[in-house]
Chains A and B, each alone.
Chain A
């Protein structure tokens, strides 16, 4: 069935290092993907998105990579900071409906 999942449920990185959070999706018809950040006690917050006609998109300290061949999405965070500690979700947009992955918890060690 359709699914959006994450390879690792938790990720621990040293402050200042780069973080890479991965996501696999199974529906090749999806044409739009989003990464959300959810801090403790808060709702998900949009980070960055990418359309399926692109393979890379950069924001401020974040980069999303899309590999349609293997149906893989990743979020790269440069120079990870303590404020980046949160759960990160990928989501797949299918005709306006979002299908979310379960999330990866990113922990930043000082």
Chain B
């Protein structure tokens, strides 16, 4: 089954404690992306990657890091989480060049709470 998986699904942590949210896709997609979803603000892009070893900032990259060492994985790293990073996070992947269409698949989401 084609899917994007994220782990963990739920996480409660404290300020300053480094954490990583993993994302993996099994569709051999080149493009992967991280979004955060907040009430009243919708989905905002954090980082994206066009392919292995290629990453770029989205709209709200501050406080986050990513890496793309393998095509299937795109972890999101919070080196020193702060309460304003409490949010619902979505990973997504997409096949590039699909006739210009956005065939983007989203993961199930990770609900992060930073105390």
Contacts and interface: CB of A to CB of B under 8 A. Distances in A.
A45 B42 CA distance: 15
Given A89-B42, A97-B45, A44 B102 contact: no
B82 to A, nearest CB: 24
A93 to B, nearest CB: 6
Contacts of A100: 42-44
Interface string B24-67: 00000001000000001111110000000000001000000000
User: Would you call the interface of chain A mostly helix, strand, loop, or mixed?
Assistant: strand
B42 A46 contact: no
A49 B106 contact: no
Interface residues of B, number: 21
A83 interface: no
Interface residues of A, number: 20
A49 B108 contact: no
Interface in A92-110: 93, 96-98, 100-103
A93 B102 contact: yes
Interface string B74-115: 000000000000000010100000001111111111000000
Interface string A60-104: 000000000000000000000000000001010100111011110
Given A42-B108, A45-B106, 16 more contacts: A41-B108, A41-B109, A42-B109, A43-B106, A43-B107, A44-B43, A46-B102, A46-B105, A51-B100, A91-B43, A98-B43, A98-B45, A98-B102, A100-B44, A101-B42, A102-B40
Interface of A: 32, 34, 41-46, 49, 51, 89, 91, 93, 96-98, 100-103
